[in-house]
């Protein structure tokens, strides 16, 4: 098995920052890249704030935090990520964007470097085919928020080699995560079950069965969910929810996965949830207020 010492993270959004956070705390040197330099700095600031919360709660010591932050370095150019033992793509949930990144990165990688994608729904086999190393390509699907969620889904493509799989599992477990193996079908396990539930909640709103508040209260108290499905959709990002539903609908050709027209409308309006200030709730005031 390849020994992982350095990790590259491509994409400095919420997921990329979270992955960098847990890798650095796990003792790995991290190179963080994004097409926009300001996002890298914003991600490092977010990691610092989130680690400070862990210190305040006694989860992490101040010394561990200081050491972890020192392990995260910016990589202004994509080719710099080629130096690492494991490169994790954590860009937006768009297949063409991911393929473009993987094709551009491949020529700069060492022959033993493992490539992984944090995709939450897209075929690992198809993404692997865009690289020069399908046998050394795997899906490492971290859950959001990465520092708090214990699961990593491990997804093998048709060409993923056994050593790549074993290395990926050992790596995820070294971060204190529990791994779950998923076959390479659209949306894997968690999102195959979770996102259609969110879509169904949006249909329930669309059809007037209940209000935003009624639906979320019903699922929190009636199903003991920590967060209502519409609030959860806002947290994930409604653009990501729509993308996953489209992958399911196209990949499985089943009408039960048809994205709700109201979800499409919200995304078209740019109301993507917490990250844009409005989704099924308006987050611009002190307290979130339902938008319907």
For position 2, what pLDDT does the model report? Answer: 77
Instruction: Give Cα 96 distance to the centre of its chain.
Output: 17
Mind listing the pLDDT tens digit for each residue in 218-255? 999 999 999 999 999 999 999 999 999 999 999 999 99
Position 213 pLDDT exceeds 80: yes
191 in Cβ contact with 120 (< 8 Å):
yes
For position 203, what pLDDT does the model report? Answer: 98
For position 12, what pLDDT does the model report? Answer: 95
Partnered with residue 31 across adjacent β-strands are 8, 73
30 in Cβ contact with 47 (< 8 Å):
no
Active site residues per annotation: 120, 141, 153, 191
CA–CA distances in Å: residue 259 to residues 197, 233, 243, 278, 291: 11, 13, 9, 19, 19
Task: Give the tokens for residue 90.
Answer: 């954590």
For residue 179, the 8-state DSSP code is E
CA–CA distances in Å: residue 15 to residues 32, 201, 210, 287: 12, 24, 32, 25
3-class SS letters over 195-239: HHHHHHHHHHHHCCCCCHHHHHHHHHHHCCCCCCHHHHHHHHCHH
Name the percent of the chain lying above pLDDT 90.
98
Hey, how many other C-beta atoms are within 10 angstroms of the C-beta on 107?
9
d(CA 237, CA 214): 21
Quote the mean pLDDT of the chain: 96
Position 1 pLDDT exceeds 80: no
């Amino acid at each position: 098995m390849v020994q992982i010492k350095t990790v590259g993270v491509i994409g400095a959004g919420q997921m990329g920052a979270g992955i960098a956070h847990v890798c650095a705390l796990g003792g790995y040197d991290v190179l963080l890249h994004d097409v926009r330099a300001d996002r890298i700095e914003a991600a490092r600031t977010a990691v610092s704030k989130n680690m400070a919360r862990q210190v305040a709660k006694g989860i992490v010591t101040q010394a561990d935090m200081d050491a972890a932050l020192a392990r995260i370095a910016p990589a202004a150019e994509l080719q710099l990520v080629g130096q690492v033992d494991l490169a994790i793509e954590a860009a937006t949930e768009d297949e063409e964007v991911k393929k473009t990144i993987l094709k551009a990165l491949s020529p700069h990688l060492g022959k033993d470097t493992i490539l992984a994608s944090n995709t939450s729904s897209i075929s690992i086999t198809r993404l692997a085919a865009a690289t020069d190393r399908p046998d050394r390509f795997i899906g490492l699907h971290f859950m959001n928020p990465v520092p708090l969620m214990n699961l990593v889904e491990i997804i093998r493509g048709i060409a993923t080699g056994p050593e790549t799989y074993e290395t990926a599992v050992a790596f995820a477990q070294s971060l204190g995560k529990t791994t779950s193996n998923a076959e390479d079908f659209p949306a894997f396990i968690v999102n195959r079950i979770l996102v259609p539930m969110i879509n169904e909640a949006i249909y329930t709103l669309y059809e007037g069965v209940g209000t935003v508040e009624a639906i979320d209260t019903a699922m929190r108290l009636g199903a003991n969910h920590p967060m209502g499905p519409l609030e959860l959709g806002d947290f994930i990002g409604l653009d990501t929810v729509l993308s996953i539903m489209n992958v399911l609908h196209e990949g499985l050709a089943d009408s039960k996965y048809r994205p709700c027209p109201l979800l499409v409308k919200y995304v078209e309006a740019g109301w993507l949830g917490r990250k844009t200030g409005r989704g099924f709730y308006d987050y611009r005031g002190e307290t979130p207020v339902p938008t319907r």
